[in-house]
Chain A
Amino acid sequence: MKTKRVLLFVILFCLLPFSGRCEPPILPDPKLTPGDALDVTVADISVPGYTKKVRNVPEEVKRRVYAEYGILTHAPREYEVDHLIPLEIGGNNSIKNLWPQSYITQPWNAHVKDVLENRLHLLVCSGKLDLKTAQQEIAGNWIEAYKKYVGPEPGPAKRVEATAERVPPASSPGSAQVWVNTKSGVYWKPGTTYYGKTKQGQYMTESEAIEQGYHAAGSH
């Protein structure tokens, strides 16, 4: 009986590489995805709506990315073909900057990386972090960069915070938080349609939003 179990285990183990699926890559393979960036300046990326100017990744390139990582099939919303160096800080659409990042692995996944991307964009645009340094650090090891610029590893409690990132931080009188759609460059005040609701965004004070070049919804 024990021999049969061992034999079954050995057979399953041997079949694993041929199952057509790989473990979701938490970190990109540096040989396939070293990261790559556009020749842009801080002024370029600080313009609200900057990422809208960048072409979408063509489907044929996405298929190549999945193939490179040995992912032959995947469920909807299982992966995002993500930019290792995000567009917000000058990353480009080269296949050298793309990898299939899991939405579902815990605690590290595409949603958590989004938090880091927004943080780095904010730091670079406010002059608190050099653009090249931000690009190098996120390309080198985005998890370490997260720990450095956002906070410690998101455990279960942190994970709740990450998914509930849309809960605005407590604000003091005179520093009411607005929700900035970092993709479109528009910010939303409490009670307005998309306050805390856009896919990409973050909370900050209105004065911070204006300082960084964002504009109020409906003002343009």
Chain B
Amino acid sequence: MAANHKLTALIKGRAIAGMQGSPGTTVISFADGSTMTVKTPGQTGAASSGTVAKVRQSGTELDIDFEDESTLTLTTAEATSCVMVRDKDGVMEYAD
């Protein structure tokens, strides 16, 4: 699966502080106060934690690899336009 270099460069090193899921949306909160919102086709998966090492993406699969070599796999609602990252002040840092 191809690396998402733009997203990797942005969130590499950020530690997950929490995950909230609702039907159609997963919100990942990072320890630095930033958030990543992912549109999903249904209910989100299990909560995960770790420090981001790399992001890979292909089609509707989004893999977040952590420094401890575990991976959080999310399914996006579409191949594009489902991921947005905002910093602690709400300023948009990344959109897909």
Task: Count B interface residues, CB 8 Å.
Answer: 16
Do A55 and B4 touch across chains, with their CB atoms under 8 A apart? yes
A39 within 8 A of B: yes
Q: How far is the CA of A60 from the CA of B2 in the complex (A)?
A: 12
- Chain A 35-57 interface residues, beta-carbon cutoff 8 Å to B: 36, 38-40, 44, 47, 50, 53-57
Do A38 and B81 touch across chains, with their CB atoms under 8 A apart? yes
Task: Count A interface residues, CB 8 Å.
Answer: 20
A95 within 8 A of B: yes
Given contacts A55-B4, A55-B6, A60-B59, contact A94 B80 (CB under 8 A): yes
- Chain A 157-216 interface residues, beta-carbon cutoff 8 Å to B: none
**CB-defined contacts of B93 to chain A, threshold 8 Å:** 53
Closest chain B CB from A34 CB (angstroms): 13
Do B79 and A40 touch across chains, with their CB atoms under 8 A apart? no
Contact residues of B with A, CB < 8 Å? 4, 6-7, 59, 78-81, 83-84, 91-96
- Known: A36-B81, A53-B94; 14 extra A-B contacts, CB below 8 A, are A38-B81, A38-B84, A40-B92, A40-B95, A47-B92, A54-B94, A54-B95, A55-B96, A57-B80, A58-B80, A92-B95, A94-B80, A94-B81, A95-B80
Can you name 24 A-B pairs with beta carbons within 8 Å? A38-B81, A38-B84, A38-B95, A40-B95, A44-B91, A44-B92, A50-B92, A53-B94, A55-B6, A55-B80, A55-B94, A55-B95, A60-B59, A60-B79, A61-B79, A61-B80, A92-B80, A92-B81, A93-B80, A93-B96, A94-B80, A95-B78, A95-B80, A97-B81
